[in-house]
Homo-oligomer: A and B are copies of this chain.
Amino acid sequence: MEDERKLEESMAEMSVDEAKEAKKKAKAEAKAAKAAKAAAKAAAATEKGKKKTKLGLSVTKEENFGDWYSEIVTEAELISYYDVSGCYILRPWAYAIWEELKAFFDGEIKKLGVENCYFPMFVPESNLIKEKDHVEGFAPEVAWVTKSGDTDLDVPIAVRPTSETVMYPYYADWIRSHRDLPLKLNQWCNVVRWEFKHPTPFIRSREFLWQEGHTAYATKAEADEEVKQILDLYRRIFEDLLCVPVIPGVKSEKEKFAGGLYTTTVEAYVPANGRAIQGATSHCLGQNFAKMFGIEFETEERARALVWQNSWGFTTRTIGVMVMVHGDDKGLVLPPKVAPLQVVVIPLPFKGCDSSVLVGAAEELTAELKAAGLRVRCDARENYTPGWKYNHWELKGVPLRIELGPKDLEQRSARFVRRDNGAKEDVSWQRLVEQARCTLEQVQKDLLDRATKERDQNVVEVRNWEDFLPALDAKKLVLAPWCEETAVEEWVKANSAGGDGAMGAKTLCIPFKQPALPEGTMCFAAPDKPAKRWTLWGRSY
């Protein structure tokens, strides 16, 4: 689970001094966030005075991607900054997206026979430290409860950063015989990783929501199969729901989950800054945790054996990736399948025209769409102009706007406007439901197609070290033949950090889908070593 975040963490391997510096920065940031909040409050108050408020974003995605992102997640009411630095409030607009992702994934894993449960969030230190590699990955960012009321606890208790060490002592109790296998549990919960690096809404926060699946099998073959099944569900979350293309593959030894056997991942790409971002990971833990926690069973042949385990998780980070990939200078662009609101109907009353008839018709159309199962709302508020409403719902990313003016009323039609590309179409009331469905499907498809095309244009094959840095600097992901030696991986990272503060490149994954690798191909970064496979590299979150 841990390398859900690991990529980002090792972004800069900090010395003690650097860590101190980072902490100072985090504090300054918290202060700044507070100040920003106060300013926003003041601004809101002023705006209220002005009555008509300027909507939209103050900075474009191209000119300052970081600021654009901070602004869009707050202005579109996905997130509010919170008094505790690195923690964020998931507002209803974000949480409803999370509910869609949950509903999909929860249904799919239940089909696979996974059962939901809930384990405590507190971990005794003695369990936390049982698996050495594992704890090393987490120790620096574990939050410790040491007091209740005014009383010191006898022993400090950790807040789960992930639940391997919470759950597996009990797996050892519950699993006795091959008949108790497979054991497939999942939980939806919060976890805490007290990082001191730059927090980013959705992408890196000190508390976040996720699901974590933890399964145990009698054989490696079964475990291997599940790792792939789950990874494919993660691929579907990104591609089929969020319209974000991902590259599935396996992590390098250096980047795999601490304590596990191997890690599979889906990797996404953010065109605006050329950075890669880990989407979700599905780990085969092998028998390592089984050994540490004594998870044994009696085989059919009455022998003792260790179980084979997997763990897998995806987090609210998914939402941030979607925002980064699809959002534009007007605001969010939400894929219809996850949009809390898929359609907004806006009546356009004209002077001298009976607005009650118009509003009545708009409400009827809304009811019809709702009855057909679409998530739709009629915005007939009188205290806002149509222009304000257009901006507002564009900022919120609603995929389809339906306008209804006096002329439309006359012609018993309505005007469809797509959020993603602004395309307009007049649709007769008779075809309203059918066409709304069809348009939403088209939007869903087009968003993925466009993002895939853009991503594909930005993955380049590189065979030599000389071509590597220029490609990175041109915001590309790089597919390169690699010898799969950790020393070379570390050398590449060290030597690809730019003088201008650009971070070093890491391996993202060894993609399952491999271009041909002619015999004799050498490693792009160590020309004296034979390449084993094509590997995807990038500067990453």
Contacts and interface: CB of A to CB of B under 8 A. Distances in A.
The main secondary structure of chain A at its interface with chain B is mixed
What is the count of identical protomers in the complex?
Answer: 2
A149 B139 contact: yes
Interface in A194-220: 194, 206-207, 209
A176 interface: yes
A283 to B, nearest CB: 22
A368 interface: no
A527 to B, nearest CB: 41
Nearest to A159: B145
Interface string A164-205: 000001100110110100000100011000100000000000
B173 A121 contact: no
Interface residues of A, number: 67
Interface stretch (A84-92, A236-244, A451-459): A84-92
A146 interface: yes
A292 interface: no
B147 A140 contact: no
A277 interface: no
Contacts of A150: 140
A144 interface: yes
A15 interface: no
Contacts of A464: none
Given A89-B120, A120-B82, A146 B147 contact: yes
Contacts of A151: 23
A48 interface: yes
B120 A95 contact: no
Contact of A118 (B83, B95, B148): B95
A413 interface: no
Nearest to A383: B179
Contact of A173 (B41, B96, B189): B41
B141 A143 contact: no
B88 A116 contact: no
A121 B169 contact: no
Given A80-B170, A124-B83, A117 B92 contact: yes
B95 A44 contact: no
A148 B141 contact: yes
A89 B144 contact: no
A156 interface: yes
A223 B522 CA distance: 72
Interface string A288-320: 000000000010000000000000000000000
A115 B141 contact: no
A127 interface: yes
Contact of A176 (B48, B117, B149): B48
Given A117-B91, A120-B82, A170-B80, A147 B157 contact: no
A45 B298 CA distance: 11
Nearest to A176: B48
20 contacts: A41-B173, A44-B176, A45-B176, A80-B170, A82-B119, A82-B120, A84-B120, A89-B117, A89-B118, A89-B119, A90-B117, A90-B119, A96-B115, A99-B116, A140-B150, A141-B149, A143-B148, A144-B148, A145-B146, A189-B190
Given A121-B190, A145-B145, 4 more contacts: A82-B170, A87-B120, A95-B116, A149-B194
